[in-house]
Structure 1
Amino acid sequence: MSSSAFFLFYDQLNTPFSCNTSDTDPQSLSTLGYFQTLPLEIFQMVLNYLPVKDISMLSMVSKSISNRLINYISTPSGNRRLLWQDFHNQELPGKREGSCILEHYKSLGLLFKRCTLLLPTKDRLKYMHRILSEVSCFKLIGCPRPLHCLGLQCYGVFLQILTAGWDELECHRVFNFLCELSNLPRKVQIVVSSKPGSARKLELRIRLYCRSVLLNHWIHRSDSAFWLTRILKPWPMVNQARLLYIIFGPVSSLDGHVVWQKMIEGPTDETSLKGLADAIKLLYDTEAREWTADDVISLVDELSVVPREWLMENNARLLILSGNNICFTFMASKAVNGRAMELARLVVFLALVCEKDLYCMDWAVKMMQKVCKVFGTPGERNYFLQCVENAFAHLIMDTLQAVLSGGRDEEDSSFLNLFHLVNAQANFHKEILYLAMRSNSV
């Protein structure tokens, strides 16, 4: 039965069958309308032929019908009809079949939202849990093949539709409810207090649960910031950095596990850092009201030693990807705290990343010029500029030494690094000369 045919049937049910007005007096009818003439079993059989979106619309007709629908969802037949569980035979998200099951759970979320509209938040969540609790793929540790499962994503879009428009207090209750069901805080405690990589499977589960259920499906940045804040804020800064890396850091293309040594062993690429940079920008945004600029800069600083101190080039690349405001604020904090030598090395690596990744070198020069204004005296500024030149010289000499000590019979990246570094220094100083000449000609 199509939805149009059903509503035609509904209209017919509401059309008087005889001229006996006492039987058809609207005041004598319950809020079920003429649906009260149908046995409950027949009513539920009709529902089996309706699309979920139409059942969702029907739930708004009256409280009595909504109650019947709530009961229908709880029945074995309603459960089988509505709770699709073929999460492993779908195409990847974005493909036709994967999108189909995700759209189904969006519609199901809207149905639950409308059916439970008059219930308190606590009761709405209890009802949701009672219906969904038997689906193992909706649990943090439930599916045996989490990387090939759409279960958590379906759960995420369901929750996003269900809770859309709820106020912050209600959303706090939702988060606490999910933490209680999944035991998320206890599992996070295990991974942030263990040696990185020692609980690889649990790290993967937490990453998938946080991203698929809590973070990925929001349209507005303020919503994403709210949920990311809920995940991070209960923990000390050092644990926040570890957790941020688990959720957004680089992972192996083979098994999906977090790659902890990626930032330590060698220069990485934009792809490995983009998730972290986007998360940092989200927390720095004005929408993230619970974070100050100092909080975010401290988090970036703490992140750069997870699990040990990163290569400076990877630090520089993360700052560039995080945007001008965060990059400047991070550098300015070092200038204010008298860390001129560390700041100078960072400027050199910003220039190196600009050279390697084909960014405009004048950006690095203008950033240095802007940072110079933070120093309180000309002497401090001149000392910083001297440190920049010394940092260039020392890094070139160190790279040259690596080239000279390398074997000629093997492919050595040191020579390529030297090539980029010399070009970076030349282009950096070229932009400084252009800037100086333009200033003198004014």
Structure 2
Amino acid sequence: MKPMEGDEVPLRINTFTLIPNQKYRRSCRHLQSKKDGDRLENFHIQYNCGYFQIIPVEIFHKVLCYLSGLLFKRCTLLLPTKERLKFVQNQLLKNPCFRMGGCTMLAQCSGFACFGMLLQTLIAGWDELECHRVFNFLSEGANLPRKMQSVVCSRPGATRKLELQIRLFYRRVLLDHWEHQCDIAFWLTRILKPWPMVNQARLLYLLYGPMSISDGQIHWHHMTQIPASEDSIKGLAAAVRLLHENAKEWTADDIFTLLEELAGFPQEWLLENSARLLICCGNNMCFTFLANKAVNGRLNELATLIVFLSLVCEKDGYCMDWTVKMVHRICKVIASNESRWNFLQAIEKVFARVTMDMIESLMFSGMEEDEGVTYNMYNMVNAQAEFHKEVMLRAFSNILT
């Protein structure tokens, strides 16, 4: 496993990358190999829809690779920001594929991605004040405040088409093209900060939560119903960590509240998924979140999370030694010996209670549920055994070496 920068992480069997490396890069002016040409043609074939469908691949190739927005930037170099944005509105936004609700095949259309690359080239090097103006211009031009209000006031999934439009517009136009994390954090902060914290969590899920590739439907209840895969949760974790590490407008308490709200939307997540989210957020952030609970005396919640962190380590192939080290670090921030003892006892009680709940569920479940319940109980028993093995290794290390 490749370690995260400045971060200790649990070892695992398979490679795990926290921040996805999916970036849209402008190609250089001269293609050096047939491989690049083939890749661009495949991009055209796979994503080209809407008005782009009638453009021959050679012209599409030239627009993206040779012009790329730089020509537009140079042509408008002497214009003030307001005039440049007017030009964008009067010229670029005439293309329906660059507008919200303008394309009938939104999920497959490359219009937003192309608009995002052009916009990134245009505003590269602009200061924050000018970028604020760009965000306000885009929001007002697309009537985004009203559309987002409609989404956050509706039942999750009730406005599927609008949810998809908002997600793809923000992701493809403002968020996915930047190479530097601080730039992504700036735009994500602009999107989230105008809203109350509960809506910030909902919008973060809207932008980075799991989504069906086939129909563009956001899986709002995925985290509340079934154990989520690492792939379906790491986008959310990467976004939260991004805000924590790169955005000066977010305090530690803001991030903790955001995590709490996120894990409670649209209903309470499965504890396994909450634990997996914390692990994907990285070692430092995970410890800070758990230590905050310890300082505030929420020891039973903390013990429950430790048990499910152990379960995730067992299921996802992380080293259980990481969980034991985490418990050791947390004990150091708990004020009294009595509270530390209560915390350790609570962990054992949670292990016993969760195991008994699984046994009862297995006894009374139908045949169709047996396989899933048995698999969960198998992993929980193994997690408990591995956890205690690591505890004993640390306790008796002096006589074992």
Matches within 5 A, 1:240-259: 240-259=200-219
Match of 1:283 in 2: 243
- The CA deviation string for residues 354-394 of structure 1, in whole angstroms up to 9 with x for no partner, is 00011110011111111111111111111010000000000
- Whether 2:127 is the aligned partner of 1:185: answer no
Contact 1:88 1:149 in 2 (8 A): no
- Whether 2:131 is the aligned partner of 1:176: answer no
Matches within 5 A, 1:48-59: none
Query: What is the distance in 1 between the residues matched to 2:42 and 2:90?
Result: 20
Query: What is the distance in 2 between the residues matched to 1:152 and 1:351?
Result: 41
- Whether 2:289 is the aligned partner of 1:330: answer yes
CA distance 1:406–1:101, shift in 2 (3 Å): same
CA distance 1:312–1:181, shift in 2 (3 Å): same
Contact 1:147 1:256 in 2 (8 A): yes
Match of 2:179 in 1: 219
CA distance 1:409–1:221, shift in 2 (3 Å): closer
Query: What is the distance in 2 between the residues matched to 1:302 and 1:425?
Result: 29
- The CA deviation string for residues 239-294 of structure 1, in whole angstroms up to 9 with x for no partner, is 00000000100112431111111011111101110110110111011x21111121
Match of 1:90 in 2: 45
Contact 2:362 2:370 in 1 (8 A): no
Match of 1:141 in 2: 101
Match of 1:378 in 2: 337
Matches within 5 A, 1:276-355: 276-285=236-245, 287-355=246-314
Which amino acid in structure 2 is aligned with residue 176 of structure 1?
N
Q: Secondary structure at the match of 1:208?
A: helix
- Whether 2:358 is the aligned partner of 1:403: answer no
Percent identical among aligned pairs is 54
Query: What is the distance in 1 between the residues matched to 2:92 and 2:280?
Result: 39
Superposition CA RMSD, Å: 2.4
Q: Secondary structure at the match of 1:308?
A: coil
- The CA deviation string for residues 289-334 of structure 1, in whole angstroms up to 9 with x for no partner, is 1111211111011100110100000000011011011111111111
The equivalent position to 1:124 in structure 2, one of 84, 93, 101, is: 84
Query: What is the distance in 1 between the residues matched to 2:256 and 2:88?
Result: 39
Match of 1:233 in 2: 193
CA distance 1:338–1:221, shift in 2 (3 Å): same
Match of 1:162 in 2: 122
Comparing 353-362 and 329-338, the one that deviates more = 329-338
- Whether 2:220 is the aligned partner of 1:260: answer yes
Shift of 1:407: 3.5
CA distance 1:427–1:441, shift in 2 (3 Å): closer
Query: What is the distance in 2 between the residues matched to 1:419 and 1:253?
Result: 32
5+ residue gaps, structure 1, are 1-51, 55-85
Q: Please give the TM-score of this superposition, normalised by the length of structure 1.
A: 0.77
Q: Secondary structure at the match of 2:91?
A: helix
Shift of 1:412: 2.5
Contact 2:47 2:109 in 1 (8 A): no
- The CA deviation string for residues 146-201 of structure 1, in whole angstroms up to 9 with x for no partner, is 01100000000110111111111111111011011111111111111211111111
- Whether 2:347 is the aligned partner of 1:388: answer yes
Query: What is the distance in 2 between the residues matched to 1:397 and 1:418?
Result: 9
Please say which structure displays the higher CA radius of gyration.
Answer: 1
Aligned residue pairs total 356
- Whether 2:227 is the aligned partner of 1:272: answer no
Contact 2:68 2:117 in 1 (8 A): no
The equivalent position to 1:209 in structure 2, one of 169, 173, 181, is: 169
Comparing 401-410 and 302-311, the one that deviates more = 401-410
Contact 1:249 1:273 in 2 (8 A): yes
Contact 1:297 1:330 in 2 (8 A): yes
**Which structure has the higher relative contact order (CA within 8 Å, separation 6+)?**
2
Match of 1:427 in 2: 386
Query: What is the distance in 2 between the residues matched to 1:409 and 1:156?
Result: 47
Matches within 5 A, 1:94-113: 101=60, 104-105=63-64, 107-113=67-73
Q: Please give the TM-score of this superposition, normalised by the length of structure 2.
A: 0.84
Match of 1:69 in 2: none
- The CA deviation string for residues 39-58 of structure 1, in whole angstroms up to 9 with x for no partner, is xxxxxxxxxxxxx979xxxx
Match of 1:415 in 2: 374
CA distance 1:382–1:163, shift in 2 (3 Å): same
Match of 2:320 in 1: 361
Which amino acid in structure 2 is aligned with residue 259 of structure 1?
H
Shift of 1:132: 1.0
Match of 1:62 in 2: none
Contact 1:160 1:217 in 2 (8 A): yes
Query: What is the distance in 2 between the residues matched to 1:358 and 1:296?
Result: 27
CA distance 1:289–1:265, shift in 2 (3 Å): same
Match of 2:24 in 1: none
- The CA deviation string for residues 113-145 of structure 1, in whole angstroms up to 9 with x for no partner, is 111111111111111211112100101211111
